[in-house]
Amino acid sequence: MKKILIIEDEKDIARMIDYNLKKEGYSTVLTHDGPAGVAAAARERPDLVILDLMLPGLDGLEVCRRLKKDDKTSGIAIIMLTAKSGETDRVVGLEMGADDYVAKPFSVRELLARVKAVLRRVSDKNEEREIYRSGDLLIDSSKVLVLVKNRPIELTAKEFELLRALVKAKGRVVSREGLLDLVWGIDAALELQTRTVDVHIMTLRKKLKSEGGRIVTVKNYGYRFET
Ligand code: CA
């Protein structure tokens, strides 16, 4: 059972989130201020933290920073609850390592969808220690290493994740929207253009040299990786 820590000082909202997560089969821990939240994260080791931005004691950004800095808690996924107008907070939060955010006021359905998506991404990341080898290409996910003809290829994090997402699809076509969601996250999928995917695919193909041609464009839809 996945465990979720809620750090939210508005008791009604906290209770509402708690109730709905439990109904979905998650186990929950509830705290109402920053310091208690940080302590509970270290003690309970949840899979995910739902973190309000405005909190007494320590604000959400500071809580996020502390969780990501500590080895014991750095692997925990974080969804931030932000104000609708808090563009800067969202950006800072995501830069600090939050995995997603939900703007207040939010619907229960939206929050649950994000919780599910973030937990899925995290478990995908954790289970990936496999080595993929095909033709002149070798991808070692545990080392974030790509070799073409035994020569290491320098990829950005996003390029690496794109390549891995395509290879994982085992020859199936993945839509550009699907790639945005898989690689950039559901938040970005709403704000970024699918063109972002195209631009990254272009540089990825170039860097993969002789293997680049295996990323096939499926017109007006997405991409697939020739296995
Ligand atoms: Ca608050």
Distance 214 CA to ligand 1 centre (A): 49
pLDDT averaged per 10 residues in sequence order, the chain, 227 residues: 95 96 96 97 94 94 92 88 74 80 91 93 67 83 85 92 90 92 78 87 94 94 93
Query: Kind of pairing, strands 48-52 and 3-7?
Result: parallel
Distance 188 CA to ligand 1 centre (A): 24
Is the Cβ–Cβ distance between 63 and 38 less than 8 Å?
yes
Residue 25: exposure state from Cβ atoms within 10 A (0-12, 13-18, ≥19): exposed
Distance 185 CA to ligand 1 centre (A): 24
Write down the pLDDT at residue 86: 66
Distance 1 CA to ligand 1 centre (A): 27
d(CA 187, CA 172): 24
Please report, in angstroms and rounded to a whole number, the separation of the first and last CA atoms in the chain. Answer: 35
Write down the pLDDT at residue 84: 66
Instruction: List domains and CATH numbers for the chain.
Output: 3-129 (3.40.50.2300), 133-226 (1.10.10.10)
Distance 81 CA to ligand 1 centre (A): 9
Distance 67 CA to ligand 1 centre (A): 18
Write down the pLDDT at residue 163: 94
Write down the pLDDT at residue 173: 95
Write down the pLDDT at residue 127: 59
Write down the pLDDT at residue 126: 59
Distance 106 CA to ligand 1 centre (A): 14
Element spanning 127, H or E? none
- Main-chain phi, psi angles of 164, to 5 degrees: -65, -40
Q: Tokens standing for 90?
A: 């969202």
97-106 contact pairs (CB < 8 A, 24+): 97/64, 97/68, 98/51, 98/64, 99/185, 100/185, 100/186, 100/187, 101/187, 104/13, 106/81
Distance 21 CA to ligand 1 centre (A): 19
Write down the pLDDT at residue 67: 94
Distance 100 CA to ligand 1 centre (A): 17
Write down the pLDDT at residue 161: 92
Distance 205 CA to ligand 1 centre (A): 45
Element spanning 170, H or E? none
